[in-house]
Amino acid sequence: MTLDEAWRILQGRQFKRTKNRETILEFFSENDRYLTAMEVRNFMIEDNPGISFDTIYRNLTTFSELGILEETELNGERHFRMQCDHGVHHHHFICTACGKTRNIPHCPMESVSVNLQGYEVEGHKFEIYGKCPVCVEQ
């Protein structure tokens, strides 16, 4: 997702264009990996030393709900990254050291043979964890 696409979504829903939102989106568009609220804060604090976690979490949640960011949970912490390939369903290999991901186009839901009649499926998660080639060397 590009910055322009993100702003188009936000302005289509009457969200205002603020400096904080610009900084957050800039950070994600320049860092193509899963990031924590703390990492976002450490970046923002240079421009805005008084930045509040309330602001960060509120915006991250908003962006996630609007499909601008995607979200996952790694060792008890929320992680966010810019939505990639918007619209096309996929999964990720996630590096547990740096947060970088690699797309996995195959979705296991297509080949699940279990009969889930009577069940109401709300979602699914398929992630592979490990170290990317760069972090293997460290």
Partner DNA sequence: ACTAGTAATCGTAATCGTTCCTGTTTACCC
Partner DNA sequence: GGGTAAACAGGAACGATTACGATTACTAGT
Least separation, in Å, of the C-beta of 42 and DNA? Answer: 11
SS3 at position 8 = helix
Out of a copy of itself, DNA, none, what residue 54 binds, judged by CB under 5 to 8 A for its kind, is DNA
Out of a copy of itself, DNA, none, what residue 21 binds, judged by CB under 5 to 8 A for its kind, is DNA
**Residues at the contact surface with DNA, assessed by CB under 7 A:** 14-21, 36-38, 48, 50-55, 57-59, 61, 76-78
Q: Which long-range contacts (CB under 8 A, 24 or more apart) does 114-118 make?
A: none
**Residues at the contact surface with a copy of itself, assessed by CB under 8 A:** 73, 76, 78, 93, 96, 102-106, 108-109, 111-114, 116, 118-133, 136
Known binding positions for Zn(2+): 95, 98, 132, 135
Asked if 41 and 61 count as a contact pair (C-beta separation under 8 A), the reply is no
Query: 20: part of which helix (H) or strand (E)?
Result: helix 19-30
Give CA–CA dist 86/5, Å, rounded: 10
Q: Which is nearer to a copy of itself, 4 or 122 (CB)?
A: 122
Least separation, in Å, of the C-beta of 112 and DNA? Answer: 28
User: Which residues are paired to 104 by β-bridges?
Assistant: 91
Known binding positions for Fe cation: 89, 110, 124
Out of a copy of itself, DNA, none, what residue 86 binds, judged by CB under 5 to 8 A for its kind, is none
What would the two tokens of residue 115 be? 């009969």
Give CA–CA dist 15/19, Å, rounded: 12
Least separation, in Å, of the C-beta of 8 and a copy of itself? Answer: 30
At residue 46, φ and ψ (nearest 5 deg) are: -70, -45
